[in-house]
């Protein structure tokens, strides 16, 4: 690992940067390029070879400090420990395993839902094929940009690629949160570098929502009462499918026309209250009457699998090729804005963490409504006055 030349100073050319090692620490010399005088570095350096890789590290102006550092390196190598000042790298497999375990722990603590943890894990599957041969310290900002390009060439939507990029940033953030800049300076710097990777511009694809005629068709084609009931709740409250299928009657307060969702069931990790439209109350009362012994709205033990199958049958019967259950949430939001609602109120109703999210998704509908409102106002009040 070391010989008599493992501790040295550098002789350096101030003009071109040429340098050579000087074990004596007192030498003189001339640059091989222009014969100008070389100056001596202030610090003593230590040369160490570990796992086939040789590194030179500046230690101190005192030679004794360099000798002590070299002795510490020898002891560390004999014990199989990290070298003094060396930072342990994290393989992709270990990083993936750590992150998935931390997400599962968060589910146990009820900080996130199981569906959220599963969604995060699914994003890692896409990242896995590209980064599996690297470690966290090896991945560069350029690698992430290459990944975005790679996925784009596969005709993957930019929104999906952005979710995957955020998942990668989340992996770094979770590892950094469990260490310090003193213990893992390289990892912290790497996390900052990866965190600066820009997301791709949104595809600009318009939000798909149902018309009144399509809503009627959907409800009439529902293959089971559960599908029809869940669709009605989705259309009237904008709740996500996962929220609806896990609803308990304790959460549904019909007398106050409210549905309460705990923070653990919300993406923004905040409790959410949803208003129940008046016309939906008697429908829910009838539904509760048909399931008197159940504490949940949808008591089927295999409701997730059976519901998915029946929903797909319903969509197929309607002849829809671009409709998912989430389309019902878009329908609620779109119809709300097109009928005079405002973005601020809608953002609260949807449980978005910020109004900017609502603007990004539905802002164009709000602008269209405002434009029509101005045209109607001008036609009825200002026409002929110009």
CATH code of residue 243: 1.10.443.10
Q: Which of 72-86, 171-185, 222-236 is predicted least confidently?
A: 72-86
Shared-domain flag, residues 286 and 343? yes
Contacts of 86 (CB under 8 A, 6+ apart): none
Note the pLDDT of residue 279. 92
- 60-91 burial: b if 16+ Cβ within 10 Å, else e: beeeeebbebbeebeebbeeeeebbeeeeebe
Q: Which of 137, 162, 195 is the last residue of a domain?
A: 195
Shared-domain flag, residues 150 and 242? no
pLDDT digits (tens, 9 = 90+) for 251-305: 999 999 999 988 877 777 788 899 999 999 999 999 988 877 788 898 864 455 6
Q: Which of 148-157, 193-202, 273-282, 374-383 is predicted least confidently?
A: 374-383
Note the pLDDT of residue 205. 59
- Per-residue pLDDT band for 367 (boundaries 50, 70, 90) equals low
pLDDT digits (tens, 9 = 90+) for 137-153: 889 888 898 898 888 88
- Overall number of domains in the chain: 3
Shared-domain flag, residues 186 and 164? yes
Shared-domain flag, residues 306 and 366? yes
Any domain includes 381: no
Any domain includes 202: no
Shared-domain flag, residues 147 and 257? no
Shared-domain flag, residues 216 and 329? yes
Residues 209, 327: Cα–Cα separation, whole Å: 6
pLDDT digits (tens, 9 = 90+) for 99-120: 999 989 988 988 887 878 888 8
Note the pLDDT of residue 3. 46
How much is the average pLDDT of 29-52? Answer: 86
pTM of the model: 0.50
For residue 121, what is the domain's CATH number? 1.10.150
Q: Does 166 score more than 50 pLDDT?
A: yes
Note the pLDDT of residue 343. 85
Task: Calculate what percentage of the chain has a pLDDT beyond 90.
Answer: 28
How much is the average pLDDT of 358-368? Answer: 71
Contact 2, 48 (CB under 8 A): yes
Q: Does 174 score more than 60 pLDDT?
A: yes
Shared-domain flag, residues 45 and 132? no
* Run of H or E including 59: strand 53-60
Residues 148, 164: Cα–Cα separation, whole Å: 9
Note the pLDDT of residue 98. 92
More confident residue, 184 or 41: 41
Note the pLDDT of residue 236. 94
Q: Which of 195, 222, 243 is the last residue of a domain?
A: 195
* Domain limits for position 371: 212-375
Note the pLDDT of residue 378. 55
Any domain includes 342: yes
Note the pLDDT of residue 301. 45
Any domain includes 57: yes
Q: Which of 223-227, 315-319, 351-355, 382-386 is predicted least confidently?
A: 382-386
Any domain includes 205: no
Note the pLDDT of residue 372. 61
Residues 82, 62: Cα–Cα separation, whole Å: 24
Any domain includes 276: yes
Find where tokens 């953030």 sit: 173
Please state, as a whole number, how many other Cβ atoms lie within 10 Å of the Cβ of residue 303: 17
How far is CA 125 from its chain centroid? 14
Any domain includes 186: yes
More confident residue, 356 or 319: 319
Shared-domain flag, residues 162 and 227? no
Any domain includes 191: yes
Shared-domain flag, residues 153 and 228? no
């Amino acid at each position: 690992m070391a010989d008599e030349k493992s501790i040295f100073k550098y002789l350096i050319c101030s003009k071109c940067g040429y340098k050579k090692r000087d074990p004596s620490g007192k030498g003189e010399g001339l640059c091989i390029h222009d014969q100008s005088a070389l100056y001596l570095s202030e610090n003593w350096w230590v040369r160490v070879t570990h796992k086939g890789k040789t590194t030179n590290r500046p230690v101190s102006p005192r030679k004794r400090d360099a000798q002590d550092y070299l002795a510490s390196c020898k002891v560390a190598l004999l014990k199989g420990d990290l070298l003094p000042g060396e930072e342990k790298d994290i393989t992709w497999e270990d990083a993936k395993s750590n992150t998935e375990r931390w997400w599962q722990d968060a589910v146990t603590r009820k900080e996130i839902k199981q569906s959220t943890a599963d969604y995060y894990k699914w994003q890692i599957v896409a990242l896995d094929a590209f980064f599996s041969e690297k470690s966290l310290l090896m991945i560069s900002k350029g690698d992430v940009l290459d990944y975005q390009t790679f996925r784009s060439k596969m005709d993957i939507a930019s929104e999906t690629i952005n979710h995957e990029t955020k998942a990668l940033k989340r992996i770094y953030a979770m590892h950094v949160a469990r260490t310090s800049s003193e213990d893992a300076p390289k990892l912290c710097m790497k996390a900052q570098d990866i965190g600066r990777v820009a997301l791709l511009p949104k595809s600009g694809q318009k939000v798909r929502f149902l018309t009144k005629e399509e809503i009627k068709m959907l409800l009439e084609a529902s293959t089971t009462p559960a599908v029809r009931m869940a669709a009605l709740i989705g259309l009237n409250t904008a709740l996500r499918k996962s929220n609806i299928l896990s609803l308990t009657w304790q959460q549904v307060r019909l007398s106050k026309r409210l549905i309460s969702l705990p923070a653990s069931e919300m993406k923004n990790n905040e409790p959410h209250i949803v208003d129940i439209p008046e016309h939906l109350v008697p429908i829910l009362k009838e539904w509760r009457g048909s399931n008197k012994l159940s504490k949940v709205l949808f008591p089927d033990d295999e409701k997730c699998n059976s519901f998915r199958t029946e929903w797909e049958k319903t969509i197929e019967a309607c002849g829809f090729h671009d409709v998912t259950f989430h389309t019902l949430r878009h329908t609620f939001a779109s119809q709300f804005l097109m009928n005079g609602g405002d973005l601020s109120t809608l953002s609260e109703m949807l449980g978005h963490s910020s109004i900017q999210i609502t603007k990004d998704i539905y802002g164009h509908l709000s602008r269209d409504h405002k434009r029509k409102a101005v045209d109607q106002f001008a036609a009825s009040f200002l026409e002929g006055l110009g």
